[in-house]
Amino acid sequence: MDINKPRYIPMSRRRRIYEGKAKILYEGPEPGTLIQHFKDDATAFNAKKHEVIEGKGVLNNRISEYLFQRLNEIGVPTHFIRRLNMREQLIREVEIIPLEVVVRNVAAGSLATRLGIDEGTQLPRSIIEFYYKSDKLGDPMVSEEHITAFGWATPQEIDDVMALAIRVNDFLCGLFLGVGIRLVDFKMECGRLWENDMMRIVVSDEISPDSCRLWDIKSNDKLDKDRFRRDLGGLIEAYTDVARRLGIMSENERPQGTGPVLVKG
Ligand code: TMP
C-alpha cells in the first residue's frame, strides 16, 4: 500500500477503538496509526460534573496539534503525525503507560489542597507526580514503588518518562512565557512506540488547556479547564485567547468548526 495515499474511510464505517471522556480513537488509515477525535465534552471530578461546550474539541485539536508539532521539531518524540480536520488528528498507535504524569511549577489544585500551600506559590523546583489511570479508582496518586511493583512501567521507563516530562516542561514554560502565560502545571501521558523490535517512549494523548493550568502572567486570569471545574464561565473565550496568542487562530476565526472554512488566496 502506498503510505502517501491514505485510504479514505467513511466516518460511519470506521472502527472505534476506544472512547474516553473527551476523545474518541478510531482505527487509522494505515496499520500502526489511529485517528484521535476531540469531542466537546467537558468533565471534572471523575466525570461527576459534565457539560458539552460547543467548540472546545476544535480548539483543543488545534492547540494540541501546535504543541506536539513544536515538540516533534525539537526532537521530543510524540505520537502526533498530522492534523486531518477540525476535530481529528492522525497519530501513531502506542501502548499507553497507565499513568498520568503531572508536572508542577506553581502550587495549585490538588497539590495546594493536599499540602496546604497557597495557590500561586512558586515551588522550589518543578515537581513530577504520578497518578494511576483508573476511572474506577479516581486516578489515585502513586509512587515509583507502586509503578514498578505492579509492573505498570520499569525503572528504566520511569527514568525515560521523567526525562521527557522535564524537557516538555522546560520547553512549554518558555513557549507560554513568550505569549504572556504562566505554565502553572500540566498533565501528560506517555506510550510505548514499537518500531520493528525497538521500543521507545513517546509523549501521547493531548496537551491542551484541558490538561494544563495556564494563567495570564499579569492578571493571573485562568485560561484553562479550571474555568469549567470552578464554574468561572468563559471557557471558549479563554481557550480562543490561548490559540490566538500562540498564533494558531486569526482574529475573526470562529472555533465552532461546523461549517466550511473560507480559504483566503
Ligand atoms: P490537579 O491539581 O487537580 O491534580 O491537576 C494537576 C494538573 O493535571 C492540572 O494541570 C490539570 C491536569 N489534570 C488532567 O489533565 N486530568 C485530570 O484528570 C486531573 C485531575 C488533572
In the structure grid, which three cell numbers stand for residue 110, read together?
Answer: 490538588
Q: Which domain holds residue 207?
A: 96-216
Q: Does residue 112 sit in the same domain as residue 192?
A: yes
Q: Is 62 in the pocket of ligand 1 (CB under 6 A)?
A: no
> Is residue 195 included in any domain, yes or no?
yes
- The Å distance, Cα 188 to ligand 1 centre, comes to 9
Q: Does residue 87 sit in the same domain as residue 101?
A: no
How far is CA 223 from its chain centroid?
Answer: 15
CB within 8 A of 123, min separation 6: which ones? 104, 105, 106, 107
Q: Does residue 85 sit in the same domain as residue 120?
A: no
Q: Which tens digit of pLDDT belongs to each residue from 71-83?
A: 999 999 999 999 9
Distance CA 142, CA 133 (A): 10
> Is residue 1 included in any domain, yes or no?
no
SS3 label, residue 222: strand
User: What's the mean pLDDT when you consider all of the chain?
Assistant: 93
- The Å distance, Cα 197 to ligand 1 centre, comes to 34
Q: Does residue 19 sit in the same domain as residue 129?
A: no
- The Å distance, Cα 129 to ligand 1 centre, comes to 11
Q: Which tens digit of pLDDT belongs to each residue from 211-259?
A: 999 999 999 999 999 999 999 999 999 999 999 999 998 766 766 544 4
Q: Does residue 88 sit in the same domain as residue 112?
A: no
SS3 label, residue 197: coil
pLDDT value for 10:
67
Q: Is 46 in the pocket of ligand 1 (CB under 6 A)?
A: no
How many domains is the chain built from? 2
Percent of the chain with pLDDT over 70: 90
Q: Does residue 118 sit in the same domain as residue 69?
A: no
Q: Which tens digit of pLDDT belongs to each residue from 11-30?
A: 667 899 999 999 999 999 99
pLDDT value for 106:
99
> Is residue 204 included in any domain, yes or no?
yes
pLDDT value for 13:
76
Minimal-distance CA residue to ligand 1 atom 4: 110
**DSSP 8-state secondary structure symbol assigned to residue 251:** T
- The Å distance, Cα 260 to ligand 1 centre, comes to 34
Q: Does residue 127 sit in the same domain as residue 84?
A: no
Q: Which tens digit of pLDDT belongs to each residue from 162-187?
A: 999 999 999 999 999 999 999 999 99
SS3 label, residue 44: strand
User: Does residue 142 have a pLDDT over 50?
Assistant: yes
CA proximity to 61, closest of 85, 32, 43: 85
The stretch 52-77 carries a mean pLDDT of 98
Give the CATH number, domain containing residue 90.
3.30.200.20
Q: Does residue 131 sit in the same domain as residue 41?
A: no
Q: Is 187 in the pocket of ligand 1 (CB under 6 A)?
A: yes
